[in-house]
Chains A and B, each alone.
Chain A
Amino acid sequence: MPCPSPNFLRALRSPACAAAVAAVLAVPPAHARSSPAAEAPAPEVMQLVQRAVATQDNRGHAFAVVDKKRARVHVFGGDGTLRGSSPVLLGLAKGDDSVPGIGERPMAQIRPHERTTPAGRFASEPGVNANGEDIVWVDYDAAVSMHRVRTANKADRRLERLASPTIADNRISYGCINVPAAFYDGQVKPALGSTHGVVYVMPETEAAEHRFPFMRTPSAR
């Protein structure tokens, strides 16, 4: 590597150059998801985590927080220590509630606007689906689970959606939470795949306080 000239080094140290570098660093990268700051939990997520642990809402269990607005999941230990984060695929339709009885209906009978991922606090449990795949039940009655991303239907382009930097295209499932297979095996399964846990799904149509009473305590303000 050639040694830079003294004039070039002097130019780098000039106030004008420093300002230019600062301006470049201040611009959010186009692939925001790939930056460490974008992968860190959002402040709303951390507020939920702090209140959940402080009020022992998680009962000491490991837990996951699904940030629907950012299409991300964060897995935490029982003490609130962040273990990992990942993009996720969520239900196609915007909404925070499941249609009554949707868990008993075949997927072919679920209409597009009914394909929601419900928000709230869910006591998760390890389980198996009808195909014998190990999954984590988020809402057993509504048939909502967290599982490895499914690629059988090529038209869904699920892997591409997970890899893309945009969020809107992460809405494709019938309500389940799809995570990358490596993330499932490395983070979700060790934390929630063998014992009971908690999954907090943050709402997208209302404030989190409406879904999580423990966030309404005075110290949360």
Chain B
Amino acid sequence: MKTTLATLGVALAFGATASIAIAQGNPPTTTSPNPATAAGQQSPAGGPMGTTGTMPQNPSGSMGANSAPAPAATMSPQPSAPATAPMRPARADRN
């Protein structure tokens, strides 16, 4: 009987220790390390959000409505187009 009580005491002590260890673990937090963006929407492009929350503009202007398509043939180096640009419309080639 004495042995049983001793065993039970050891088990309780171990359980209490484990509980303390678990309780001392860092719980998940929803706070952001950057207080400025903790409660708001972050810029997916990594740039400044601007006062209206609009997306940062692409410096190359390739997404703008007024942008003209790059010429197909150039005699001097041109900035490379994005690799994911959509295909141009199908058309007949010169065989």
Interface residues of A (CB under 8 A from B): 55-57, 59-61, 91, 102-103, 106-107, 110, 115, 118, 120-123, 125-130, 132, 135, 137-145, 147, 150, 173-176, 195-196, 211-214
Once the chains bind, are A107 and B95 in contact (CB under 8 Å)? yes
A57 surroundings in chain B (CB, below 8 A): 77
A175 surroundings in chain B (CB, below 8 A): 94-95
Of residues A55, A125, A150, A213, which shows the largest number of chain B Cβ atoms within 10 Å of its Cβ?
A: A125
Once the chains bind, are B74 and A121 in contact (CB under 8 Å)? yes
Q: Given that A127-B87, A174-B95 are known contacts, is A120 also in contact with B77, CB under 8 Å in the complex? A: no
Of residues B70, B73, B81, which shows the largest number of chain A Cβ atoms within 10 Å of its Cβ?
A: B73
Once the chains bind, are A121 and B75 in contact (CB under 8 Å)? yes
Q: How near does chain B come to A11, taking the closest CB pair, in angstroms?
A: 57
Once the chains bind, are A127 and B88 in contact (CB under 8 Å)? yes
Residue of A nearest to B92 (CB): A130
8 CB contacts below 8 A, A to B, read A121-B76, A122-B73, A123-B71, A123-B80, A129-B93, A142-B72, A143-B94, A196-B80
Once the chains bind, are A176 and B80 in contact (CB under 8 Å)? no
Once the chains bind, are B77 and A55 in contact (CB under 8 Å)? yes
Once the chains bind, are A196 and B85 in contact (CB under 8 Å)? yes
Give chain B interface residues in 12-35, CB to chain A under 8 Å: none
A57 and B77 CA atoms in complex are apart in Å by: 6
Q: How near does chain A come to B70, taking the closest CB pair, in angstroms?
A: 6
Q: Given that A61-B80, A196-B83, A196-B85 are known contacts, is A143 also in contact with B73, CB under 8 Å in the complex? A: no
Interface residues of B (CB under 8 A from A): 70-83, 85, 87-88, 90-95
B88 surroundings in chain A (CB, below 8 A): 125, 127, 137, 140
Once the chains bind, are B95 and A127 in contact (CB under 8 Å)? no
Q: Given that A55-B77, A196-B80, A211-B75 are known contacts, is A123 also in contact with B94, CB under 8 Å in the complex? A: no
A139 and B75 CA atoms in complex are apart in Å by: 13
Q: Given that A123-B78, A123-B81 are known contacts, is A137 also in contact with B72, CB under 8 Å in the complex? A: yes
Q: How near does chain A come to B20, taking the closest CB pair, in angstroms?
A: 56
Q: Given that A107-B95, A143-B92, A143-B93 are known contacts, is A128 also in contact with B87, CB under 8 Å in the complex? A: yes
B93 surroundings in chain A (CB, below 8 A): 129-130, 135, 137, 143-145, 147, 176
Q: Which of B74, B76, B83, B91 contacts A129 (CB 8 A)?
A: B91
A212 and B95 CA atoms in complex are apart in Å by: 26
Q: How near does chain B come to A24, taking the closest CB pair, in angstroms?
A: 42
A154 and B77 CA atoms in complex are apart in Å by: 40
A43 and B1 CA atoms in complex are apart in Å by: 97
A59 surroundings in chain B (CB, below 8 A): 77, 79-80
